[in-house]
Chains A and B, each alone.
Chain A
Amino acid sequence: MSGLGRGAGQMMSYGAYHGVDGELFPRGLFGPRAAIEPLPLTQITEDVSHAWMRGSSADPAHSSTVPDPDKPAAYSWCKAPRLSGQPIEVGAIARQTVAGQALIADLVSVSGTNVRNCVIARLIETARIALAMEQWTRALRLSEPFCHNTRETPNGSYVGLVEAARGSLGHWMAVRDGRIERYQIIAPTTWNFSPRDSFDVGGPLEQALVGTDVGDAGPRAVAIQHIVRSFDPCMVCTAH
């Protein structure tokens, strides 16, 4: 399995499970020099050159999502999110690489991201989560206030970033006069399954599929299914 689905290399995490001492899985970028760097959040853009979407601002805080089903060069309903112009892989392997988890960091340094390492990362992360849940439950202060509510939402722009199981999930929202004026979502599978951008660079899945030996089975090869599933995709409602 380690020979299948070699990824493009760069990965990120928005950071997950906040605590007084920071995050259990920290925010960061596994960048082009294969080192952990700060995550330049302002460098997130959306490219629609190969998506059935009408062009708008590249900045998710200002862009819109308007379908354009007759667009000639398009082949996906998925936009192409980019960080500093580059495709980025997200998910458990990205979180654990950015977090410096010893086994995952070693596997990635030996063979990069691939089907086997993605599956190992998901289960190693599950083990870490199980231990953390025990500790959090013991540390809960009982019968305390449980929510800090704000009554009004002032005019302005808001960004919500979280690590869902499948990877980095971002919501960009603008509010005016107490109402939502604009709302954009970049979901984890949109990062992983993004189509090509205007430089003709494919997203993580496309790059992982390149060079796969499909033998006589062609597009029905089980190797393709392993690679696609190793990203734990969710494409059911992809229209971002």
Chain B
Amino acid sequence: MLATNIAHAGENAADHLTHFYIFFMPDFAREAYAAHGWHEETRERFAATRGSAARDVLPARARLLETMGIVAGKWLHSLAFQPGGTTRAIDLGERVRLLSITTAFRSFLERIVFADTLENVLAISSASELDRWRDGRGGDFALSCGLRTVSR
């Protein structure tokens, strides 16, 4: 059950990162936002295929998906899962490799995405606390929370 959770979680977290960095944020690098003060920053960070964020997120995502290979024994296709479990046993060496991947993933989230520890991020419990937390903070999450959209 835990091994199934690890493989499932690795894939879902990778999808969330792909959505945020590759699908959603590049819209804020569009010319429609050229008049906004934050446009230069979002363009350099998120412009489709050219932004600096892709250089950070793509290796982090690929590393995370190695969990699938270790647990399910077959990268990347999730049909390798069986209803009753996973496809192979995990030994001590593989647990060490899994831990180094989860540690690297946490480090990516804490340095690049949140600019804070995961524990601090998850302690934010209200909209007003979020506003106080992100005030003056770096990281892509705080940047995205402060964006204003236009309709034309």
Contacts and interface: CB of A to CB of B under 8 A. Distances in A.
Interface string B46-85: 0000000000000000000001000000000000001111
A16 B32 CA distance: 39
B65 to A, nearest CB: 12
Interface string A118-129: 011011111111
Nearest to B125: A102
Contact of A214 (B122, B124, B152): B152
Interface in A6-31: 16-20, 24
Contacts of A200: none
B16 A122 contact: yes
B2 A139 contact: yes
Given A129-B12, A130-B109, A148-B85, A226 B125 contact: no
A129 B9 CA distance: 6
Contact of B130 (A18, A103, A138, A160): A103
B83 A103 contact: no
B79 to A, nearest CB: 12
A138 B99 contact: yes
Interface string B81-103: 01111111111100100110011
Contacts of B89: 142-146
Given A128-B122, A142-B91, A133 B105 contact: yes
A48 B106 CA distance: 44
Interface residues of B, number: 64
Contact of A127 (B4, B8, B86, B122): B122
A contact residues, range = 35 or more
Given A140-B2, A225-B27, A134 B86 contact: no
Contacts of B145: 116, 120
Contact of B19 (A17, A160, A232): A232
Interface in A94-148: 102-103, 106-107, 110-111, 115-116, 119-120, 122-134, 136-140, 142-148
Given A4-B149, A107-B127, A150 B1 contact: no
A149 B87 CA distance: 11
Interface string A212-240: 11111100011101100110100000000
Contacts of B82: 147, 149
A146 B9 CA distance: 17
Contact of B151 (A107, A125, A132, A221): A221
A132 B5 contact: yes
Contact of A103 (B17, B119, B125, B150): B125
B115 interface: no
A17 B8 contact: yes
Taking each of A129, A131, A164, A217, which has the highest tally of chain B beta carbons within 10 Å of its own beta carbon? A129
A106 B105 CA distance: 27
Interface of A: 1, 3-4, 16-20, 24, 92, 102-103, 106-107, 110-111, 115-116, 119-120, 122-134, 136-140, 142-150, 160, 162-166, 212-217, 221-223, 225-226, 229-230, 232
